[in-house]
């Protein structure tokens, strides 16, 4: 198979184009930060029902449970993404906010001091928090949609992505 410009920079392939874990032994330890966001769209009736109950269902407090699940998932990312390095997560914060038109925004921010970044942990935390909300609300409707999961920001390594939010 010929190497193209598009796949020439893939880091998880060795010279024979076989899957491999990236070696980070020679990298410097730096403060690594990543923030990801998942967006969900709720049917109007589901959004109304959640507001009316203080974001609780028969399964319990929806947002609180999603926050716990997202943090747990971020801490265990290396267990189910094959080439992720196990990282000592120093901080993980998940915020859930109701947006316009029955939309939820779930942001996950992860920090560590290490030789590799935490973007996969932030993406995993936001994704699992969204999946938890879906699970807790699916009795109300299966028309709930997870419409986007994106990396908003990463810093501390060779390449920065996006811009960090200003924190109060």
- What DSSP element (H or E) covers 89? none
- Catalytically annotated residue among 14, 64, 135, 143: 135
CATH number at residue 101: 3.30.70.640
Cα 106 to Cα 40: distance, rounded to the nearest angstrom:
8
Is 23 within the bounds of a domain?
no
pLDDT reading at 13 higher than 90: no
pTM: 0.84
Q: 148 an active-site residue? A: no
Whether residue 53 is contained in a domain is answered as: yes
Question: Measured between alpha carbons, how far is 70 from 112 in angstroms, rounded to an integer?
Answer: 17
**pLDDT tens digits, one per residue of 41-76:** 999 999 999 999 989 888 899 999 999 999 999 999
Number of domains in the chain: 1
Q: Is residue 22 part of a domain?
A: no
Q: Crossing angle of helices 62-75/119-137, nearest 10°?
A: 150
What is the pLDDT averaged over residues 69-85? 93
Residue range of the domain that includes 87: 30-162
Residue 115 pLDDT more than 60? yes
Alpha-carbon Rg for the chain, nearest whole angstrom, is 18
Read off the pLDDT band of 27 (50, 70, 90). Answer: confident
85 domain-assigned: yes
Name the least confident of 17-31, 56-70, 146-160.
17-31
Structure confidence at residue 7 as a pLDDT band (50, 70, 90): very low
Burial 49-79 (b: 16+ CB within 10 A, else e): bbeeeebbbeeeebbebbbebbbebbbbbee
Mean pLDDT throughout 145-167? 80
Confirm whether 14 is domain-assigned. Answer: no
């Amino acid at each position: 198979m010929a190497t193209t410009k598009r796949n020439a920079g893939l880091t998880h392939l060795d010279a024979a184009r076989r899957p491999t874990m990236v070696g980070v032994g020679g990298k410097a330890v730096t403060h690594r930060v990543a923030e990801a966001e998942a967006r969900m769209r709720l049917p109007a009736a589901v959004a109304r029902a959640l507001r009316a109950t203080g974001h609780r269902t028969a399964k319990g407090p929806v947002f609180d449970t999603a926050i716990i699940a997202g943090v747990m998932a971020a801490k265990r990312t290396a267990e189910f993404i094959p080439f992720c390095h196990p990282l000592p997560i120093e901080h993980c914060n998940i915020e859930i906010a109701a947006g316009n038109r029955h939309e939820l925004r779930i942001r996950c921010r992860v920090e560590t001091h290490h030789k590799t970044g935490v973007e996969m942990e932030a993406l995993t935390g936001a994704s699992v928090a969204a999946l938890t909300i879906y699970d807790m609300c699916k009795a109300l409707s299966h028309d709930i949609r997870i419409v986007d999961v994106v990396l908003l920001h990463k810093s501390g390594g060779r390449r920065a992505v996006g811009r960090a939010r200003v924190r109060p």
